[in-house]
Chains A and B, each alone.
Chain A
Amino acid sequence: MSDDPYEILGVPKTASHDEIKKAYRKLAKALHPDLHPDDAGKKAEFQAVSAAYGLLGDPEKRKRFDAGEIDASGQERPERHYYHQYAGQDAGRRYDPGMGAQEYEDAADFFSDLFGRRSRSGGGDYREAFHTRGPDLRYNLEVDFLDAVRGAKRSVTMPNGKAIEISIPAGVHDGQTLRLRGKGGAGFGEGPPGDALVTIGVLSHPVFTRDGDDIEMELPITLDEAVLGAKVDVPTISGTVSMSVPKGASSGRRLRLKGKGIVRASGKAGDQNVRLKIVLPDRMDGELEELAKRWREHSDFEPRKELRRQT
Chain B
Amino acid sequence: MSMDERSVVAEVRRVTLRELRLWVREGWVQPAQGERGPAFDEVDVARIRLLCDLRKEMALPADALPVVLTLIDRLHETRRDLRDLTKALEEQPEEVRRSVVAGFRERRGSSYRTDGGA
User: Residues of A with Cβ closer than 8 Å to B?
Assistant: 24-25, 28-29, 32, 34-35, 37, 50, 53, 80-88, 90-98, 100, 115, 135, 137-142, 156-159, 197, 199, 201
Contact = CB atoms under 8 A, between A and B. Distances in A.
Contact of A28 (B35, B38, B58, B73): B58
Nearest to A141: B35
B2 interface: yes
Interface stretch (B15-23, B42-50, B98-106): B42-50
Nearest to B84: A90
Given A32-B53, A97-B74, A92 B43 contact: yes
Contacts of A157: 33
Contacts of A86: 42-43, 46-47
Contacts of B90: none
Nearest to B70: A97
B76 interface: yes
Contacts of A34: 50, 53, 72
Contacts of B2: 140, 201
A86 B29 CA distance: 14
Contacts of A28: 53, 57-58
Interface in B46-65: 46-47, 49-50, 53, 57-59
A97 B43 contact: no
28 contacts: A28-B53, A34-B53, A82-B50, A83-B43, A83-B49, A86-B46, A87-B73, A87-B76, A88-B76, A93-B77, A94-B43, A95-B30, A95-B73, A97-B77, A98-B77, A115-B81, A135-B30, A139-B32, A139-B33, A139-B34, A140-B2, A140-B32, A140-B34, A141-B34, A156-B33, A157-B33, A159-B30, A159-B32
A194 B35 CA distance: 21
Interface of B: 2, 30-35, 38-39, 41-43, 46-47, 49-50, 53, 57-59, 70, 72-77, 79-81, 83
Which residue of B43, B47, B59 has the most chain A CB atoms within 10 A of its CB atom?
Answer: B43
Contacts of A96: 73-74, 76-77
Given A28-B57, A84-B76, A87-B76, A94 B30 contact: yes
Contacts of B53: 28, 32, 34
A168 to B, nearest CB: 14
Given A95-B76, A141-B35, 16 more contacts: A25-B58, A37-B76, A53-B57, A81-B42, A82-B50, A83-B49, A83-B50, A84-B76, A86-B46, A87-B72, A88-B80, A90-B80, A95-B73, A97-B73, A156-B33, A157-B33
If over half of B's interface residues share one DSSP class (helix, strand or loop), that class is named, otherwise mixed; here it is helix
Contacts of B41: 91
Given A88-B80, A100-B77, A83 B47 contact: yes
B79 A37 contact: yes
Nearest to A92: B76
Contact of B80 (A53, A92, A97, A141): A92
Contacts of A84: 76
A24 B73 CA distance: 25
A137 B79 contact: no
A142 B32 contact: no
A199 B32 contact: yes
A142 B35 contact: yes
A139 B30 CA distance: 11
B7 to A, nearest CB: 14
Nearest to B35: A142
Of B38, B74, B83, chain A has the most CB atoms within 10 Å of the CB of: B74
Given A32-B53, A140-B33, A95 B47 contact: yes
